[in-house]
């Protein structure tokens, strides 16, 4: 253990010593840069370019300038021009031409193009590692719908499994949805969601770019075995005052940015949703069409809401020292009261459901970026965050039903008449879950020359998980003992009181070191890194020590062709590496589980990726990647109902295991048309084969809540889909009109194979084991896991039509848009198993929807005003 404590310090000392060396001059190449107006497509003459060595260049009358850049690394051009918004583009290593399209912004003076080395974590697409979405692509694919969300765009990328409109937790290349980790400017956010995962907290207007890393990504990042969502926040302008207002059907968004003496800026953002109008309209529609799904709208007492605010700032103290700040606070919730009375030939009764859900989360991040020399960059970041989720619920019901003739024939002598009335059922739940975390990291990049780059880093992540819950429920069990006077095969309904008050602390220490190489002719590149992660748990009255895990990673890049006829470039990539993450089970570990030191292990995966990418003239790009992923040491729970006649807690029937496995393979392909005057977009296809195993599983409840797959069976998890196809097309027939479309095709998810519906007897008892009320007749349907049982395909279709108005005098841009999501819901919906009434056995033939989408298209209308 002493060695482990010394290792990170040694890395830091090693990195600092490197900074004292004299760095040789780097070879350079000429790159032609074209700057033009994004809407009018006219060159912007007079833009200034200042390279990292201080040399200045000016764009000619054609908007072109030739600038030297380092020959063995990529750089980022930060673009600005009088009257236009700032923008950054990446010039890849070996690239000889670059272009940038600027949009009108506020009034600027003496603006320049600044060339700077790429900072650690800057978003970009890397074959075999990640795929990025730019700010402009986010505007077209994420700024649509009732809630504008970056995850709307992420769900369209290759390698991402289809979820639904109200689900922002996709499966990434066959991985568990809960394993997707988000990082905002390097700050990890494990639960960045509103409404329990329906939408993410990432407003497209607060994001400069987003990158989904689902391959063998850099050792800089960890805490995931499936996918990492890296969000680069939008920085405020240092020269312009900017104002953005968006008013739509269900929300209003406001963004204001103003400069700080030309050295930085402050940006404030806010969002308020108002679904009350939508809820009222749905209630009126339900009165007209009497749709079963729409009927649930009547239950809302508090319409779903989101309230959020964000504040960001940056300041350039010196040319080589920059300070950044990001903060966010948001809240969401919903309240409902559902009352129903029914009176049919077979069943009479009433039910009342009263529930309330509230969620608050926030974080604060601050950091310093220091460039002690031209080829060295150091960055320190610190932040803390919190989240509190509260749920309260109350259920009351009472039922009167008639026994069936078959039931009377079998159990007649034990029954009291031809009908029964269940005792009043009263169930309640109160739950508060709180997460606190603080984290800091230090990153150092050193460009050593000759195509070599070295990077080192230290990271510390502290978390506190607190769970306080109390529930009074009625549970139905099969007793493992005979009760005198009861029907031998009868199941029991009995009161069950559950209370938990757990507070756990986790400390994750991480360190990494990596080296990158790029040959001068860009024919070969490599990245070799090693990451170390160590977890230590402190609970109430116990501690848990774990073994440190080492995660080596290797990527190789080969440039096969360049500027060969119609082929601009052809590359081949291959990578392999190990990854680890902390399972959410540790949040609720209790000393009664009997876990000892070194029993607890992080989730692990070994991932191998190979791919190719070809860029063709005229702005087309094609990428193909195949991958294999082996998951091991995956945590899962087994739960066997073991409540005794005194209603004791079932806590002792829960066991934690850390030997779960998974075998995943597949491939992604994407054909993309890069941004052009009249149209752009992409077509992607993803094939995924993912099977998991819980060796000790028997009525298993794992992280993915797949509770049917026990006895060591290899199974397809509930989130798995074989095929996912996404088509994104953006048409611009006129400069004032834009049409954005999103069409998806997703094969079905696994479902159970069902059999006949049959009756069985149930007896209710009190906490002392005494009978309460008469024998109850209930129904159940035989079901079992089957590899071949799937829901039908899902076909989501969304569309947005935008009208743009440009005012050349005051630099104001206005967008008026009309959008519709889930357009095909009126004529098609994915189908799963039907539901049935457990007291009458009657099957509801209209209840076979495979998701929780609304049965009507979700229409949105609004306008956006930018200055």
Tens digits of residue pLDDT in 291-347: 555 556 666 777 788 999 999 999 999 888 999 999 999 999 988 887 878 788 888
List 11's β-bridge partners, or say none. Answer: none
Give DSSP secondary structure letters for 46-60: T-EEE-TTS-EEE--
Cα–chain center distance at 527: 27
DSSP state of 476: E
Low-confidence residues of the chain, pLDDT below 50? 1-26, 106-123, 643, 645-652, 699-708
Q: Distance (Å, rounded) from C-alpha 401 to C-alpha 778? A: 10
List 803's β-bridge partners, or say none. Answer: 737, 816
Task: Name the token pair of 314.
Answer: 């940056």
Q: Distance (Å, rounded) from C-alpha 509 to C-alpha 137? A: 36
CA dihedral 623, 624, 628, 629 (to 10 degrees): 30
DSSP state of 566: T
DSSP state of 204: G
Supply the pLDDT for residue 293.
Answer: 55
68: left (phi over 0), alpha (psi -120 to 50) or beta: beta
Supply the pLDDT for residue 73.
Answer: 63
Q: CB under 8 Å to 788, separation ≥6 — which residues?
A: none
Q: Distance (Å, rounded) from C-alpha 617 to C-alpha 568? A: 6
Pairing of strands 28-37, 549-564: unpaired
Q: CB under 8 Å to 166, separation ≥6 — which residues?
A: 195, 198, 199, 852, 853
Supply the pLDDT for residue 665.
Answer: 97
Angle at 176 between CA 175 and CA 181, to 5 degrees: 90
Q: Distance (Å, rounded) from C-alpha 677 to C-alpha 511? A: 46
Supply the pLDDT for residue 416.
Answer: 83
Q: What is the C-alpha R_g of the chain?
A: 30
Supply the pLDDT for residue 25.
Answer: 40
Q: pTM of this prediction?
A: 0.82
Helix ranges (DSSP H) in 212-275: none
The sign of the torsion formed by the CA atoms of 643, 648, 651, 652 equals: negative
Q: Distance (Å, rounded) from C-alpha 263 to C-alpha 250? A: 37
């Amino acid at each position: 253990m002493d060695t482990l404590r010394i290792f990170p310090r040694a890395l830091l000392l090693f990195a600092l010593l490197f900074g004292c060396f004299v760095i040789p001059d780097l070879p350079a190449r000429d790159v032609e840069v074209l700057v033009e107006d994004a809407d009018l497509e006219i060159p912007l003459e007079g833009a200034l370019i200042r390279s990292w060595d201080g040399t200045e260049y000016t764009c000619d009358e054609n908007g072109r300038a030739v600038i030297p850049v380092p020959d063995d690394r990529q750089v980022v051009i930060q673009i600005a021009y009088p009257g236009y918004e700032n923008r950054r583009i990446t010039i890849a290593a070996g690239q000889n031409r670059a272009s940038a399209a600027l949009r009108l912004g506020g009034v600027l003076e003496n603006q320049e193009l600044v060339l700077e080395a790429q900072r650690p974590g800057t978003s970009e697409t890397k074959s075999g590692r990640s795929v990025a979405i730019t700010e402009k692509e986010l505007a077209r694919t994420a700024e649509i719908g009732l809630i504008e969300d970056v995850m709307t765009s992420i769900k369209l990328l290759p390698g991402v499994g289809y979820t639904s409109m109200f689900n922002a937790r996709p499966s990434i290349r066959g991985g568990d949805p809960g394993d997707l980790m988000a990082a905002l400017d390097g700050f990890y956010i494990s639960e960045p969601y509103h409404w329990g995962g329906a939408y993410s907290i990432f407003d497209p207007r607060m994001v400069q770019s987003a990158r989904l890393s689902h391959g063998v990504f850099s050792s800089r990042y960890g805490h995931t075995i499936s996918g990492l969502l890296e969000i680069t926040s939008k920085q405020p302008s240092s020269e312009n005052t900017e104002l953005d207002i968006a008013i739509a059907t269900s929300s209003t968004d406001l963004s204001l940015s103003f400069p700080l003496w030309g050295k930085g800026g402050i940006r404030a953002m806010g969002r308020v949703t108002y679904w009350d109008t939508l809820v009222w309209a749905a209630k009126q529609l339900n009165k007209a069409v009497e749709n079963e799904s729409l009927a649930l709208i009547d239950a809302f007492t508090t319409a779903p809401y989101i309230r959020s605010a964000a504040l960001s700032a940056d300041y350039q103290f010196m040319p080589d020292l920059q300070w950044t700040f990001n903060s966010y606070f948001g809240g969401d919730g919903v309240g409902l009261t559902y009352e129903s009375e029914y009176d049919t030939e077979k069943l009479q009764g009433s039910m009342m459901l009263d529930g309330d859900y509230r969620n608050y989360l926030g974080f604060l991040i601050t950091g310093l970026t220091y460039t002690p020399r031209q080829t060295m960059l150091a960055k320190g970041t610190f932040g803390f965050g919190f989240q509190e989720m509260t749920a309260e619920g109350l259920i009351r019901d009472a039922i009167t039903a008639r026994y069936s003739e078959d039931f009377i024939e079998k159990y007649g002598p034990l029954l009291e008449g031809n009908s029964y009335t269940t005792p009043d059922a009263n169930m309640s739940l109160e739950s508060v879950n709180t997460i606190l975390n603080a984290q800091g990291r230090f990153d150092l990049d050193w460009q050593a020359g000759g195509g070599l780059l070295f990077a080192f880093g230290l990271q510390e992540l502290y978390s506190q998980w607190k769970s306080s819950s109390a529930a009074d429920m009625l549970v139905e069990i099969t007793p493992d003992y005979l009760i005198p006077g009861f029907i031998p095969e009868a199941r029991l309904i009995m009161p069950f009181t559950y209370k938990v008050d757990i507070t756990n602390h986790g400390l994750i220490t991480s360190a990494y070191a990596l080296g990158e190489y790029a040959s001068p002719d860009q024919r070969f590149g490599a990245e070799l890194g090693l990451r170390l992660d160590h977890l230590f748990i402190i609970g109430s009255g116990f501690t848990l020590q774990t073994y440190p895990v080492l995660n080596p990673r290797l990527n190789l890049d080969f440039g096969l062709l360049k500027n060969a006829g119609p082929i601009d470039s052809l590359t081949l990539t291959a990578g392999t590496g190990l990854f680890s993450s902390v399972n959410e089970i540790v949040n609720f570990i209790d000393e009664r589980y009997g876990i000892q030191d070194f029993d607890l292990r992080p989730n692990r995966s070994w991932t191998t990726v190979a791919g190719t990418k070809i860029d063709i003239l005229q702005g087309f790009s094609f990428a193909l990647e195949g991958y294999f992923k082996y998951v091991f040491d995956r945590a899962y729970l087994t739960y066997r109902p073991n409540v005794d006649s005194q209603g004791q807690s079932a806590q002792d029937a829960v066991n934690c295991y850390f030997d779960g496995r998974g075998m995943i393979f597949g491939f992604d392909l994407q054909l993309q048309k890069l941004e052009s005057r009249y149209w752009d977009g992409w077509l992607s296809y993803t094939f995924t084969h993912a099977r998991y195993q819980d060796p000790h599983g028997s009525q298993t409840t794992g992280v993915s809540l797949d509770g049917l797959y026990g006895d060591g069976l290899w199974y397809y998890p509930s989130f798995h889909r074989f095929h996912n196809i996404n088509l994104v097309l953006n048409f611009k027939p006129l400069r004032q009109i834009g049409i954005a479309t999103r069409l998806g095709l997703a094969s079905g998810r696994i479902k159970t194979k069902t059999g006949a519906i049959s009756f069985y007897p149930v007896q209710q008892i009190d906490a002392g084991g005494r009978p309460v009320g008469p024998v109850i007749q209930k129904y159940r349907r035989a079901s079992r896991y089957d590899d071949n049982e799937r829901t039908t395909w899902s076909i989501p279709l969304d569309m947005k039509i935008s009208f743009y108005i440009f005012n050349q005098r005051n630099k104001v841009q206005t967008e008026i848009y009309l959008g519709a999501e889930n357009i095909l819901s009126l004529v098609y919906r994915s189908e799963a198993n039907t539901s049935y009434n457990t007291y009458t056995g009657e099957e509801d033939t209209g209840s076979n929807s495979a998701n929780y989408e609304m049965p009507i298209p979700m229409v949105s209308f609004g306008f956006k005003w930018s200055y």
